[in-house]
A and B are shown apart, each in its own frame.
Chain A
Amino acid sequence: MNSTPIIDVKNVTYSYPYAEQPALNQISLQIMPDQWIAIVGHNGSGKSTLAKTFNGLIEPQSGEIYFNGELLSEETIWDVRRQLGIVFQNPDNQFVGATVADDVAFGMENNGVPREKMLVRVEEALKQVRMWDYRHQEPARLSGGQKQRVELAGVLAQRPKVIILDEATSMLDPQGRSEIIELMMQLREQGDFTIISITHDVDEAALADQIVLIDSGELITQGTPSEIFTQAERLHEHGLIVPLSEQVRTDLVAAGVGLPDKYLDETQLVDELWTLHSNM
């Protein structure tokens, strides 16, 4: 594995105009390539602000951001933006094209990708998110989940190194949410890119390789899902909850059931419980 972090945040501080508290407060964080990272925190914790510093949508008042070893600056920012795609929260605020295919092509057009290449990539990306059949449709007529899939296709078509999903599932209904999560899992299998999901959905965070917990613009803790989810009280303190499987496990352990003293996802929990089945 490449040992240069794909994103290296060093002592970044940022305050919104007229705000009393900084949104980011001396935060440092390293994100290694080809991983799925979940940045979690309650509403207003600074997690989305942090993501917006990665490609210079927000310019910190102090501190530095390195993208793949290169300092983010006025000279490098356009190159970085080509390598980093973001899907935002509200599917209705992101459309520019008259048809689904136009919309996916928009980012590439901006980056001067030749037309021949563009056509191929639009097709590939739309097939990847299973929206090719909708290519001639008006984006406005799609469901929320479909809209976010098209947004994701627009990002994929640019062949980024990093994909950021900034609460991309939080405005969707359960079906839309599972469509996007399924796609993210599929992308992890297929691609060699880093996925950064900004979320407060614990079930989404549970799928990540690493979870980064943010509050008041500061890094609280970072670790694998098992390391993070065994700290229920700490998560509660910061406005979050543990997945159901962990809640059930700790309650059963408290009741004297002999389950392992570590985080188990649902499949693991069910398997462990079956070994304890009493065959009454």
Chain B
Amino acid sequence: MDITFEHVNYTYQPNSPLATLGLKDINLKFTSGSYVAIIGQTGSGKSTLLQHLNALLRPSSGRVLIGDQAVMTTTKNKELHDLRRSVGLVFQFPESQLFEETVLKDVAFAPKNFGKSEAEATEIARDTLRLVGIDESLEDKMPFDLSGGQMRRVAIAGVLAMQPEVLVLDEPTAGLDPLGRQQIMQLFQRIHEERGITIILVTHQMDDVVAYADQAVVMSHGEIAKVGTPAEVFADLDWLTAHNLELPSTGRLVQRLQQKGFKFTRMPLTVNELLADLEPQLKRGSQLG
């Protein structure tokens, strides 16, 4: 299922003195099966864009095509029911939205809400919990008795249980430790590969953009500032700095090395690329005598 933005503008609190432009003439296509990262400073319009992906917000003008459903200012809520099942949205700190008395019930809630029988919903919930790595022994626990990382997984399972075609993730690893972060990101990668789910990831973690995304969209002041592969987007360090964007973790080290006089023909985005570019410029240990 493709999602296409056509001349989308969005104004917060229109027709009031507080009216502010959230999005400005956005034209963008998220192709079915792709993995796209949306990056940009806080306040750049990332979250506003994200809320258009499943019509939580409707454009003030222009339209968003979600599959074959067009979403415009005038689109009625009742037309959006199916669409909200096919685009799953994982908000920041999704564990704060857990509410059922057991883990299993919490995950079964969405499929039940979308018309599955109790038995079907429970089966989907069980499958999804296994998928995110939550063991059977935790199913009857209160969600709040789990660790932070486990609660996050249960909350993600709650969205996956709707069996969406597109998964939209807003800073899914915020607050997690390095290992937890890696595990969650690998989980999304697996779902993406095994089930062909489209992933749209809003993040400040540039290393994750490099490691997982095919395309990166840079937002700035409500507009699209750049679209390209991670290599293309991160190629120009000065441009990134001018747009107040973080660099991949190699970026700062590369900048320092460049200032000293080391030469890089491309921007190394991973440790391996950095090592490959650096080693030929160094004397070997044996030559030091």
Contact = CB atoms under 8 A, between A and B. Distances in A.
B175 A175 contact: no
Interface footprint category on A: 35 or more
Contacts of B274: 248
Interface in A120-155: 143-144
B192 to A, nearest CB: 24
B145 to A, nearest CB: 7
Interface string B261-289: 11000000001001100111111111010
Interface string A253-280: 0011110000000110111011011101
B42 A175 contact: yes
Interface residues of B, number: 39
Contacts of A252: 275, 278-279, 282
A161 interface: no
Interface stretch (A6-14, A62-70, A166-174): A166-174
Nearest to A199: B177
A171 B175 contact: yes
Interface stretch (A106-114, A181-189, A217-225, A237-245): A237-245
B76 interface: no
B285 A174 contact: no
Interface in B246-266: 246, 249-250, 252-253, 256-257, 260-262
B77 interface: no
Contact of B250 (A244, A269, A277): A244
B244 interface: yes
Contacts of A89: 175
Give the 10 A-B CB pairs with smallest separation, nearest first.
Answer: A258-B285, A200-B177, A239-B179, A42-B177, A44-B147, A241-B178, A174-B246, A270-B256, A43-B148, A173-B42
Interface of A: 18, 41-44, 89, 143-144, 167, 170-171, 173-176, 200, 202, 236, 239-241, 244-245, 247-248, 251-252, 255-258, 266-267, 269-271, 273-274, 276-278, 280
